[in-house]
Chain A
C-alpha cells in the first residue's frame, strides 16, 4: 500500500502543466500538495470527476488531463468507463485512489472492498492501458510512461485510508461557483482559435 500524499507528490513532480481534476478527499489533499490554477475540483454530484475530465480532454485535445478519482466515486459512475473508452481521448489519464472507504463520510467500507479489480474493469471496458499499483517505487518508475503513452490510461493506486495529516474540509471553498470562474480564467490561455 502507498501513502496517498506520497503518490500525489510523485504526480505533482511529473505533472508538467497538465490539468488535474480531483474530487472530494483527493481534491483537498491535492490542493495541499499542488495548489495550481489548473486544478479543477469536481464535487457536488459524486462520481463525476472522470466525466468532467472527459469533457475537458475532448475540448482541449492537445492538453494532458489527469483525473484523481476516488474508488467510491468511481463506483457511483461506473458507466463512465465505457463512455471514456468509446471516445478514446489519447490525452486522458484516469487515476483511481483506492483506499477502500468513503473517507469523507465516516470511513465506511466501499462495497467489495479489497476484492474489486478496478483496473480490470477499465481494461475490459476498452481503455488503452490499465494497471494497478501497490508500491510507491514501482508507481514512480512507471509514472512518466503512464503520462506519456496514448490514452485513455487508467491506474488504480492502492493507498492507506486516512494516512494523511488531518484535512481542513473547507466545503465552502470547494463548492463555491468562484472556483469554477477561477478555473475558467486559468484555462483561457490554453484555448486555440
Chain B
C-alpha cells in the first residue's frame, strides 16, 4: 500500500505568506528540511533567522510582534520540548503570539500522533493541551489550508499556536 502523501513545502510557504509572515526563525529538522526549510531559505520575501537553540526563537518571535512583524518558529518536537519554559512564560503568562511549526520526527505517516510508537511523539498533543496551547495537525496537502487562519487566530488572541507536521514535507 502506498504511503499517504505529506504536505508540499511550497504550499506551506504560500500559507505563511498569506498570513502575513515575513520572518522565520529556524533550526533544521529532517521532517521539514528538504521540503520546507531549504526552499524558504532561498525565498527573497522571507527573512530566515538561523537559531543556535530553539528557545531563542520564542523570544525573537515575541519581540518581532512588538514591531508588528509576523513570524514563525520552525523546529522539531524535541526543540519544542526544550522550549516549553519559555513558551510558558512568553506565550502563556505574558500573552504573546508565538507561532510554531513543529516537525514530528519519528511519527508514523499513517497514524495519529497520540497513537505513535514513539513516546516523544505521543506526548506532544497532551502536553500542548495541558498548557492550553492552540494546535493544529498538518498531515497531508489538504491540511495546509488550516495554517493561515491558525496564525491569524494567534495574533488576534495574542497567544501561542503550534502547527504539527505529521509527515515529511515534500518539495
Contacts and interface: CB of A to CB of B under 8 A. Distances in A.
Interface of A: 40, 42-45, 48, 51-56, 58-60, 77, 79-83, 86-87, 175, 177, 179-180, 183-184, 187, 191
B66 A184 contact: yes
B63 A44 contact: no
B59 A55 contact: yes
Nearest to B23: A58
Interface of B: 23, 47, 49-53, 55-64, 66-69, 85-86, 88-90, 93-96
| Chain B interface mostly | helix
A79 B67 contact: no
Contacts of A187: 66-67
**Residue in A58, A60, A179 whose Cβ sees the most chain B Cβ within 10 Å:** A58
Nearest to A77: B56
B85 A45 contact: yes
A45 B60 CA distance: 13
Nearest to B93: A44
B51 A83 contact: yes
Nearest to A60: B67
A77 B53 contact: yes
B93 A175 contact: yes
B86 to A, nearest CB: 4
A82 B27 CA distance: 13
Contact of B63 (A43, A55, A87): A55
Given A44-B86, A58-B49, A83-B53, 5 more contacts: A45-B90, A51-B57, A53-B63, A180-B94, A184-B66
A54 B63 contact: yes
B60 A54 contact: yes
12 contacts: A42-B59, A44-B88, A54-B59, A54-B60, A54-B63, A56-B67, A59-B69, A60-B67, A79-B56, A80-B53, A83-B50, A191-B68
Contacts of A175: 93-94
Given A55-B63, A58-B23, A48 B55 contact: yes
B78 to A, nearest CB: 15
A18 to B, nearest CB: 15
Contacts of A183: 66
Given A58-B64, A82-B52, A177-B95, A48 B86 contact: yes
**Residue in B59, B64, B90, B93 whose Cβ sees the most chain A Cβ within 10 Å:** B59
A179 B120 CA distance: 35
A134 B67 CA distance: 35
A191 B67 contact: yes
A77 B52 CA distance: 10
B60 A177 contact: no
B55 A56 contact: no
Nearest to A63: B67
10 smallest CB-CB distances across A and B, nearest first, come from: A55-B63, A59-B67, A44-B89, A79-B52, A51-B59, A45-B86, A55-B60, A79-B53, A51-B56, A48-B59
Nearest to B53: A79
Nearest to B84: A45
Nearest to B83: A45
**Residue in A53, A54, A56, A59 whose Cβ sees the most chain B Cβ within 10 Å:** A59
Contact of B90 (A44, A79, A179): A44
